[in-house]
Structure 1
Amino acid sequence: MPRIAFLECSRCKTRVSAETPQTLCPACAGSLYVRYDMDTLKRTARRDDIAAKAAASPASLGMWRYADVLPDVAPVTLGEGWTPMIHSRRYPGLYIKEEGANPTGTFKARGLSLAVTMAKHYGLQHLAVPSAGNAAGALAAYAAAAGLSAHIFMPQDVPFANYLEGIVYGADVNMIDGLISDCARIVGEKIKAQKEANTPTSEVWFDISTLKEPFRVEGKKTMGYELVEQLGWTYPDAVFYPTGGGVGLIGMWKAFEEMEALGWVTGKRPRMYALQATGCAPVARAFDEHKPASEFFQNAATFAAGLRVPKPYGDYIILDILEKSGGKAIASPDEVILESILDYARHEGIFLSPEGAAATAAYDQLLKTGELKPTDKVVLFNTGAGLKYTDMTAEAMHLRRPNEKKATLPTSLPVGGIITPQ
């Protein structure tokens, strides 16, 4: 496993040491990338050894099969990564990357596994995150596994599964009347107040927000390595990625850059598509208006909770990737997203998350316009298990439990001598 050479600002290219925990670039507040000594990696890291190592060692399973291109640390793992690549039954070129198979049911497990791993490595004790829901659940799980404290802030209307996860894993759960942007503001204010009050360093929260620390990108980049390996070390024609904060899209682009430097893959990189909901489409709007960054999306509203990010911190990186790759950003209405959930469930046997269905809805749209052909090789990400959104999807369908009164559960249940909250 490689030592980190330095951290590099994605905007101004300032280099920062990775010896101590870092958040943003001290020069311009840009997001930091982890950089390795690629000359050394070219001599030591071999793609042909990956499968053999994974087969020989439990420590090399999941996303940690790519340990040669991840930080040299002892992982906090729950078995994340190496998710299925499902070939569509209807479209010969379509492959659906099922990230719902991860621990906590979403792709967020990858980024939080590595972020919590590094937090433990640095000796941090308190981790805080504003979240649209799934990152909070993943942080709660990995913090519990690492013996760290998690402080999570979510909009009060997130899927109920996200709230339940936080409680079950023993996190400090805070439900906010607002959006993820309001949660981020509150986290920032609390950390600032802690520092001004001279709170002992070990008790000060560390902000583990999307792109405000460098290691969630490192975890998410493993999706790029996986999809290329699962396609026989070749690129697809396009990658469709539901985009709220966009860390996965950014991470995959970083993975492609690294693999090319190592000689692990050649050819033209895939066109990258960022998919959003029309009720919260800051990236799609900025793309359509040819702007280098997005503007805050007012009155954001969509049942695809993970896409309800009014202004992604890394919007300038996402838009640059879309332009360089020849891709685009596309937004779909909630009713079309719901139709796609039902279509893929009934014809493919896959219960998509609303975010994943934003991607399938856009894919189907481009098939109809002829921009894509059914034979074009496309990897489309379902970023979470549809079952995590049962309340949101049922509400969108106006669906209620039959004989609901008869099926009502008791207000409290005895569990191991403990009475659950009423």
Structure 2
Amino acid sequence: MPAIAYLECSRCQNQISANKYETVCPKCAGALYVRYDTEALKKTATRPEPGGSQSMWRYASVLPDVSPVTLGEGWTPILPSRRNPNIFLKEEATNPTGTFKARGMSMAVSMARHYGLKKLAAPSAGNAAGALAAYAAAAGIEAHIFMPKDVPFANYLEGVAYGANVTLVDGLISDCARIVNERKEKEGWFDISTLKEPFRVEGKKTMGYELVEQLNWTYPDAVFYPTGGGVGLIGMWKAFEEMEQLGWVTGKRPKMIAIQASGCAPVAKAYKEGANTSQMFENASTFAAGLRVPKPYGDYIILDIVRQSGGTVVDIPDETILDSLLDWSRDEGLLLSPEGAAATAAYDHLIENGFLKPRDKVVIFNTGAGLKYVDMIAEAMGVTRPNSTKLPERVPVGGIITPQ
């Protein structure tokens, strides 16, 4: 595992030491990247062979030198579509806590323990909270979580079950972030929010390493990524840069497709307007809870990556997201998260308008398990539990296992 050479600001390229757990650039408040000695890395980093560790830590040679707090995150399956052999679904639902957030939190909490931190705090649209609670419990670190009160119930339940200090807020994730920022100094919390520290990107970048390895060390033509805070998209782009420097992959990088919900589409709006940053999206509302981020901290990075790659930003209405969710459930046997269904719907949209061709090889990220959203999906479908006080009748099946 390599030593960190320095931390670099994504905005002004200021370089600072990694001797302590840093938050953002002290000069311009830009998000920080972890940088390694590239020449040393070329001598020590090894491209994984088949087999080996079946987690994101198979890429330990390109991750910070730390003792991992791990629950088996990463190395999720990449599934070919049953209807189009050029569509591959990266199934992040198989991660601990059921979402891709496990990757970033595994790395961030590992580093927090390494640096001796005792109290971590974060605002969350839901899934990051569950992951932080789980990994903090595994590390023996206090977790303080702030979520909108209407998050999927599973997110609230897991936070409480893991022993985190959970506060539900009457507002959006931006309101939760404000509370963390106002209280962190007094409470002694380290703010582990999206892009307010450098290591969640390092965990998320393993998605880029994995998809390239799982495609036999080649790039796809496009990557579809549901984008709330956008850390995964940013991490994958960083992974592609590192792999090229190491000679692990060649060719043209994929078009990066960022997907938002039409009810909360700050990055899509900025992209259409040709802006380099987004504005606060008013009255944000969508049942894809992870996409309800009205002003991403890393919006300037997301927009730059999309444009560099020749990609685009797509926003999808909730009705279309639900249609795609049901389509993939019934024809592919996969209950996607609403965020994942936004990505599959975006694929259909870009095929229809000619931005992509059916022959293009694409990877679509399902960022979480649909079962974590049963309350949200049921409400969107208009499904309720049947009213019945009568217990099911016992059915005889031969008397071998159950009574006749």
**Among 270, 273, 280, which residue is 2:257 paired with?**
273
Total equivalences in the alignment: 391
**Among 310, 325, 339, which residue is 2:294 paired with?**
310
The secondary structure found in structure 2 opposite 1:145 is: helix
Q: Deviations over 1:78-137 (max 9, x none)?
A: 000000000001112100000000000000000000000000000000000000000000
Given that residues 181 and 309 in structure 1 are in contact (C-alpha distance below 8 angstroms), is that contact kept between their aligned partners in structure 2?
Answer: yes
Q: Identity percentage over the alignment?
A: 72
The secondary structure found in structure 2 opposite 1:4 is: coil
Q: Deviations over 1:12-44 (max 9, x none)?
A: 011111111100000100000000011011111
**Among 45, 49, 52, which residue is 1:51 paired with?**
49
Rounded to whole Å, the distance in 2 between the matches of 1:82 and 1:7 is 27
The match for 1:30 is 30
**Among 283, 308, 319, which residue is 1:299 paired with?**
283
Please say if 1:67 is aligned against 2:71: no
Rounded to whole Å, the distance in 1 between the matches of 2:354 and 2:254 is 18
Rounded to whole Å, the distance in 1 between the matches of 2:193 and 2:65 is 22
The match for 1:126 is 119
Please say if 1:252 is aligned against 2:236: yes
Please say if 1:86 is aligned against 2:79: yes
Letter in 2 for 1:35: R
Rounded to whole Å, the distance in 2 between the matches of 1:382 and 1:160 is 20
- Per the TM alignment, residue 367 of structure 1 is displaced from its structure 2 partner at its CA by 1.5
Q: Deviations over 1:46-79 (max 9, x none)?
A: 21xx126x52xxxx33000000000011000000
The match for 1:14 is 14
Given that residues 51 and 65 in structure 1 are in contact (C-alpha distance below 8 angstroms), is that contact kept between their aligned partners in structure 2?
Answer: no
**Among 337, 362, 369, which residue is 1:385 paired with?**
369
Q: Deviations over 1:289-313 (max 9, x none)?
A: 0000000000000000000000000
Please say if 1:398 is aligned against 2:382: yes
TM-score, scaled relative to structure 2 = 0.95
The match for 2:98 is 105
Rounded to whole Å, the distance in 1 between the matches of 2:180 and 2:234 is 24
Rounded to whole Å, the distance in 2 between the matches of 1:373 and 1:320 is 24
TM-score, scaled relative to structure 1 = 0.91
- Per the TM alignment, residue 4 of structure 1 is displaced from its structure 2 partner at its CA by 0.3
The secondary structure found in structure 2 opposite 1:51 is: coil
Rounded to whole Å, the distance in 2 between the matches of 1:104 and 1:358 is 21
The match for 1:220 is 204
- Per the TM alignment, residue 404 of structure 1 is displaced from its structure 2 partner at its CA by 5.3
Please say if 1:261 is aligned against 2:259: no
Please say if 1:235 is aligned against 2:248: no
The match for 2:153 is 160
The match for 1:188 is 181
Given that residues 63 and 80 in structure 1 are in contact (C-alpha distance below 8 angstroms), is that contact kept between their aligned partners in structure 2?
Answer: yes
- Per the TM alignment, residue 192 of structure 1 is displaced from its structure 2 partner at its CA by 3.4
Rounded to whole Å, the distance in 1 between the matches of 2:218 and 2:312 is 22
Given that residues 238 and 271 in structure 1 are in contact (C-alpha distance below 8 angstroms), is that contact kept between their aligned partners in structure 2?
Answer: yes
Rounded to whole Å, the distance in 2 between the matches of 1:19 and 1:175 is 34
The secondary structure found in structure 2 opposite 1:142 is: helix
The secondary structure found in structure 2 opposite 1:127 is: strand
Rounded to whole Å, the distance in 2 between the matches of 1:82 and 1:296 is 35
Rounded to whole Å, the distance in 2 between the matches of 1:96 and 1:84 is 8
The match for 2:350 is 366
Given that residues 7 and 16 in structure 1 are in contact (C-alpha distance below 8 angstroms), is that contact kept between their aligned partners in structure 2?
Answer: yes
1:310-349 superposed matches below 5 A: 310-349=294-333
The 4+ residue runs of structure 1 with deviation greater than 4 A are 404-407
Given that residues 92 and 374 in structure 1 are in contact (C-alpha distance below 8 angstroms), is that contact kept between their aligned partners in structure 2?
Answer: no
The match for 1:201 is none
Rounded to whole Å, the distance in 1 between the matches of 2:356 and 2:327 is 19
Rounded to whole Å, the distance in 1 between the matches of 2:10 and 2:330 is 42
Letter in 2 for 1:88: S
Rounded to whole Å, the distance in 1 between the matches of 2:360 and 2:271 is 23
Unpaired stretches in structure 1, ≥5 consecutive residues: 195-203, 408-422
The secondary structure found in structure 1 opposite 2:114 is: helix
Please say if 1:173 is aligned against 2:166: yes
Distance 1:404 1:237, change over 3 A: farther
Rounded to whole Å, the distance in 1 between the matches of 2:21 and 2:389 is 52
- Per the TM alignment, residue 244 of structure 1 is displaced from its structure 2 partner at its CA by 0.0
**Among 271, 284, 300, which residue is 2:268 paired with?**
284
Rounded to whole Å, the distance in 2 between the matches of 1:393 and 1:111 is 26
Distance 1:368 1:406, change over 3 A: farther
The secondary structure found in structure 2 opposite 1:355 is: helix
The secondary structure found in structure 1 opposite 2:130 is: helix
Given that residues 99 and 384 in structure 1 are in contact (C-alpha distance below 8 angstroms), is that contact kept between their aligned partners in structure 2?
Answer: yes
Q: Deviations over 1:173-226 (max 9, x none)?
A: 0000000000000000001334xxxxxxxxx10000000000000000000000
